[in-house]
């Protein structure tokens, strides 16, 4: 533990790295604000009548459990607007003090986008989920009759996953829609990881400390393991830091509401294999991203251990990252690429099953396991590449 502490001090508590992290955090928050500015529907600053009307209605009347009373109340004001704006096509934009937004068409759009459509999705979700479950049950009967064990098991898994799914609460999902599609912070984490991890082994050689380490009792494999462990701590720490920054920045700009709502309350995650809430997904997604980042850092550690000067490892690490990104874009298979875990929403948006020994397993499990294997291979290779002192290995080095 002591050596791990020294490795953290040696490699990560550097002024330039702290400045970089601080600067990247600032850039990230500014970027999230820019994202908010270009993509929000209802401004949390309530600086326009449309947004103010939405948030007032949301807070006072419609937030929380979806009840018949709330739906009736909403339809009472929405139906005449629908009749006027859509059926009669008046598109009235004249100022009217008796409206929420200042004009009739504004009210219609605000209610339609902010309440009617999302509530309709939430209200009808149970039906859709049940339909999927029933279809799966039908498939179970069919596959059972033709003795297709794997397909039977797959259908069973889908049926049990979707049966009983329903969305009972209505919350504004803008924050989550945007948070879960935001990737810029991952890019900043990757840059930070490269800057921080490339020197881990190279710097020892550049300073000739590798020679002193190699004739020290704990300077061989123990130090290598401490370097790997400290890199893991750093990567985990930096991922958590940016996850927290993302969360608070998105919450501050888009408005924090509905943390306990189901993940499938988001249209994008309608078919998600995860039966969890928003806040649970934030943690799961961060955890999965951390594993992906660990795999990338394992590659960088390996590259770092091969070279004596820092320049080439920086270039090669960047090259490796872009290759992985490109492979992620082009390859049809998702396995073994850490980027599938770093940008993981695609993994959790749809229920895909893979076959492992005749058992259906969620695709994300397969990807996680394969990236974990990828991580393990690079870590073990890095340990092997860094040799112990000859006298500790009976004269071999």
> Which residues are near another protein by CB under 8 A?
2-3, 6, 9-10, 13-15, 206-209, 211-219, 222-223, 389-392, 394-397
Q: How far is the CB of 381 from another protein (least distance, A)?
A: 21
**Residues 200 and 11 sit within 8 Å (Cβ to Cβ):** yes
DSSP string, 197-257: HTHHHHHHHHTTHHHHHHTSTTSSHHHHHHHHHHHHHHHHHHHHHHHHHHHHHHHHHH---
Q: How far is the CB of 308 from another protein (least distance, A)?
A: 13
d(CA 195, CA 189): 10
Beta-carbon contacts of residue 50 (< 8 Å; ≥ 6 apart): 42, 101, 106, 109, 110
| Beta strand extents in the chain (DSSP E only) | 64-65, 169-170, 353-356, 359-362
Beta-carbon contacts of residue 313 (< 8 Å; ≥ 6 apart): 198, 202, 300, 303, 304, 306, 307
**Residues 258 and 240 sit within 8 Å (Cβ to Cβ):** no
Q: Which is nearer to another protein, 29 or 229 (CB)?
A: 229
262: which strand partners? 277
d(CA 43, CA 48): 8
> What is the dihedral angle through the alpha carbons of 140, 142, 145, 148, rounded to the nearest 10 degrees?
-70
Cα Rg, the chain, nearest whole Å: 27
d(CA 30, CA 38): 12
Q: Which is nearer to another protein, 137 or 387 (CB)?
A: 387
Q: Which is nearer to another protein, 311 or 356 (CB)?
A: 311
Q: How far is the CB of 125 from another protein (least distance, A)?
A: 55
- Residue 117 CB neighbours (<10 A): 12
Q: How far is the CB of 210 from another protein (least distance, A)?
A: 9
Q: How far is the CB of 58 from another protein (least distance, A)?
A: 51
Q: Which is nearer to another protein, 46 or 221 (CB)?
A: 221
Q: How far is the CB of 4 from another protein (least distance, A)?
A: 10
d(CA 100, CA 110): 9
Q: How far is the CB of 380 from another protein (least distance, A)?
A: 22
Q: How far is the CB of 390 from another protein (least distance, A)?
A: 4
Q: Which is nearer to another protein, 89 or 396 (CB)?
A: 396
Q: How far is the CB of 66 from another protein (least distance, A)?
A: 57
């Amino acid at each position: 533990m002591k050596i791990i502490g020294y490795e953290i001090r040696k490699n990560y508590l550097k002024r330039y790295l702290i400045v970089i992290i601080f600067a990247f955090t600032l850039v990230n928050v500014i970027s999230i604000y820019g994202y908010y500015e270009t993509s929000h529907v209802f401004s949390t600053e309530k600086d326009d009548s449309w947004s103010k009307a939405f948030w007032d209605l949301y807070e006072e009347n419609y937030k929380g459990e979806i009840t018949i009373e709330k739906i009736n109340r909403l339809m009472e004001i929405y139906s005449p607007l629908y009749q006027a704006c859509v059926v009669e096509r008046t598109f009235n934009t004249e100022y009217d003090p008796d409206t929420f937004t200042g004009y009739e068409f504004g009210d219609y759009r605000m209610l339609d986008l902010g309440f009617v459509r999302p509530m309709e999705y939430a209200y009808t979700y149970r039906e859709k989920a049940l339909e999927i479950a029933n279809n799966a049950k039908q498939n179970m009967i069919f596959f059972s009759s033709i003795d297709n064990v794997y397909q039977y098991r797959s259908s069973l898994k889908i049926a049990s996953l979707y049966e009983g799914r329903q969305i009972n609460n209505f919350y504004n999902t803008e924050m989550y829609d945007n948070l879960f599609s935001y990737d810029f912070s991952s890019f900043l984490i990757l840059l930070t990881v490269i800057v921080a991890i490339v020197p881990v082994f190279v710097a020892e050689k550049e300073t000739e400390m590798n020679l002193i380490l190699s004739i020290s009792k704990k300077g061989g494999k123990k130090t290598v393991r401490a370097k790997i462990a400290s890199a893991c701590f750093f990567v985990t720490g930096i991922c958590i830091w940016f996850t927290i920054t993302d969360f608070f920045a998105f919450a501050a700009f888009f408005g924090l509401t509905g943390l306990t709502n189901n993940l499938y309350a988001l249209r994008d995650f309608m078919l998600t294999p995860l039966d969890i809430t928003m806040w649970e997904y934030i943690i799961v997604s961060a955890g999965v991203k951390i594993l992906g980042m660990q795999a990338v850092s394992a590659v960088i550690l390996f590259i770092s251990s091969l070279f004596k000067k820092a320049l080439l490892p920086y270039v090669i690490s960047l090259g490796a990252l872009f290759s992985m990104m490109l492979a992620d874009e082009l390859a049809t298979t998702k396995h073994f690429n850490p980027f599938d875990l770093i940008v993981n929403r695609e993994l959790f948006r749809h229920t895909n099953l893979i076959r492992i020994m005749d058992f259906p397993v969620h695709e994300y499990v397969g990807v996680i396991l394969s990236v974990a294997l990828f991580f393990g291979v690079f870590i073990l290779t890095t340990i092997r590449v860094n040799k112990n002192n000859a006298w500790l290995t009976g004269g071999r080095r």
